[in-house]
């Protein structure tokens, strides 16, 4: 196992422990243990139900555009280089540029979790128009 693989695995586990409500963490981490079950994790994130509601900030309908979301994330200190956690689960390239990834995903209603582990901030979009949130941990 490479250092990079260990890093992304730990980032994913830390994300689940930091953003998913306590009662749903075990289920998602259990799926994570076996790669054959990773698709089930994506199903879990079709809606925002798994999230701890204290860690997600609603985005006003008139603010649900990639450029506006990008500016909000930058104000929170989010760095340009982030990881796309669901791309990682799909075995796709997961290191991404925040602005580019937002442009590619905002408004397309496909499950997306863009995460910046250094600032514990990010963006989530589910399979429904109302499921768009800024992710912000209260911990540093």
Given its phi and psi angles, is residue 97 left (phi above 0), alpha (psi -120 to 50 degrees) or beta? beta
What pLDDT was estimated at residue 139?
65
Is the per-residue pLDDT at 4 higher than 80? no
Phi–psi pair at 53, nearest 5 degrees: -65, -15
Q: Where are the beta strands (DSSP E) in the chain?
A: 56-58, 81-84, 95-97, 112-116, 121-125, 132-136
Considering only CA atoms, give the Rg of the chain: 14
User: Do 133 and 123 meet the contact criterion of CB atoms below 8 Å apart?
Assistant: yes
Segment 14-38, tens digit of pLDDT: 999 999 999 999 999 999 999 999 9
Domain range summary for the chain, segments of one domain joined by +: 3-136
Please count the other Cβ atoms lying within 10 Å of the Cβ belonging to residue 36.
7
Whether pLDDT at 1 is above 80: no
This prediction's pTM = 0.92
- Note the pLDDT tens digit of each residue in 52-108: 999 999 998 889 999 999 999 999 999 999 999 999 999 999 999 999 999 999 988
Greater confidence (23 vs 3) lies with: 23
pLDDT of residue 63: 92
Of the pLDDT bands very low, low, confident and very high (cuts 50, 70, 90), residue 110 is confident
């Amino acid at each position: 196992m490479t250092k990079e693989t260990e890093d992304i695995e730990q980032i994913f586990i830390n994300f689940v422990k930091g953003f998913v409500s306590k009662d749903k963490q075990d289920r998602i981490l259990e799926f994570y243990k076996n790669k054959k079950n990773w698709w089930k994790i994506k199903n879990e994130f079709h809606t925002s139900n798994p999230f701890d509601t204290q860690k997600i900030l609603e985005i006003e309908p008139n603010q649900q555009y990639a450029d506006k979301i990008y500016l909000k994330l930058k104000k929170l200190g989010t760095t340009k280089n982030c990881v796309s956690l669901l791309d990682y689960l799909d075995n796709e390239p997961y290191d991404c540029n925040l602005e580019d990834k937002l442009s590619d995903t905002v408004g397309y209603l496909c499950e997306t979790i863009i995460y910046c582990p250094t600032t514990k901030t990010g963006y989530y979009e589910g399979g429904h128009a109302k499921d768009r949130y800024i992710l912000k941990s209260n911990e540093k």
